């Protein structure tokens, strides 16, 4: 097969060009490590973020939706990054999962997951009634849960866009909340 010389000239320009752009993008991301969580490996963080799907209340944040069961032997720690609406599940220095989450906690907040878990939770904020499901208690009066309704209206699609701020909560999707309920008691939660 004979390839047109003009086409060849285009490819000689296009593919090295693409390679250079990709290298520059990766170098730029690597140099701006301030956006990344401190104390965990950069590589594991980038790979788990790449595996994130779009935020949807009905779906797990991870592509494939399968979460590994983690025990206290795994030394699990949850790092919530408020700015990025993400919770990183860290074992030792490796990020094993990244989850979409609305973090309604102050920066620097630290606590541990308690024994208490349940199905239904109701909050009243500024006259609005918010119901949530699949809750896991942490710290003093903190909850990881999945929002169900706001003033009787069902929460659909991307819950991260919801304006109502539910203090002392980390709001995650239903499958993620269900998985987080299985986290061992004493798992640390840190907000960065």
Please list the residues that pair with 38 across neighbouring strands: none
Minimum CB separation from another protein for residue 158, in Å? 16
Residue of the chain from 18, 116, 125, 141 that contacts another protein (CB under 8 A): 18
- DSSP reduced 3-state for 46: helix
Minimum CB separation from another protein for residue 191, in Å? 25
Count of residues that interact with another protein, criterion CB under 8 A: 25
Query: Cβ atoms within 10 A of the Cβ of 121, count?
Result: 19
Whose structure tokens read 């701020």? 165
C-alpha triplet 44, 158, 155: angle, nearest 5° = 135
Phi, psi at 184, each rounded to 5°: -65, 150
Residue of the chain from 33, 39, 42, 65 that contacts another protein (CB under 8 A): 42
- Scanning 14-22, 109-117, 144-152, 163-171 for contacts with another protein by CB under 8 A, the matching segment is 14-22
Rounded to an integer, what distance in angstroms lies between the CA atom of residue 124 and that of residue 62?
31
Q: Which is nearer to another protein, 19 or 141 (CB)?
A: 19
Q: Which of 110, 112, 52, 58 is nearest to 85 (CA)?
A: 52
x/- binding map, residues 50-89, to another protein, per CB under 8 A? Answer: xx-----------x--------------------------
Residues within the interface to another protein (CB under 8 A): 4, 6-7, 9-11, 13-15, 17-18, 21-22, 25-26, 29, 42-44, 46-47, 49-51, 63
């Amino acid at each position: 097969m004979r390839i047109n010389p003009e086409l060849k000239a285009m490819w000689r320009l296009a593919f090295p060009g693409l390679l250079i752009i990709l290298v520059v993008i990766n170098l730029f991301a690597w140099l701006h490590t301030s956006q990344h969580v401190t104390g965990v490996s950069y590589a594991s963080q980038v790979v788990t973020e790449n595996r994130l799907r779009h935020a949807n209340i009905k779906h797990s944040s991870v592509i494939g939706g399968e979460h590994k069961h983690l025990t206290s032997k795994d030394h699990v720690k949850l790092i919530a990054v408020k700015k990025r609406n993400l919770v990183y599940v860290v074992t030792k220095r490796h990020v094993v999962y990244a989850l979409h989450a609305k973090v309604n906690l102050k920066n620097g907040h630290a606590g541990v997951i308690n024994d208490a878990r349940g199905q239904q939770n109701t909050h009243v904020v500024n006259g609005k009634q918010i119901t949530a499901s699949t809750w896991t208690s942490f710290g003093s009066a903190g909850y990881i849960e999945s929002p169900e309704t706001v003033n009787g209206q069902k929460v659909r699609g991307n819950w991260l866009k919801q304006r109502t701020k539910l203090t002392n909560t980390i709001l995650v999707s239903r499958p993620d909340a269900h998985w987080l309920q299985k986290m061992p008691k004493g798992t640390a939660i840190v907000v960065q």
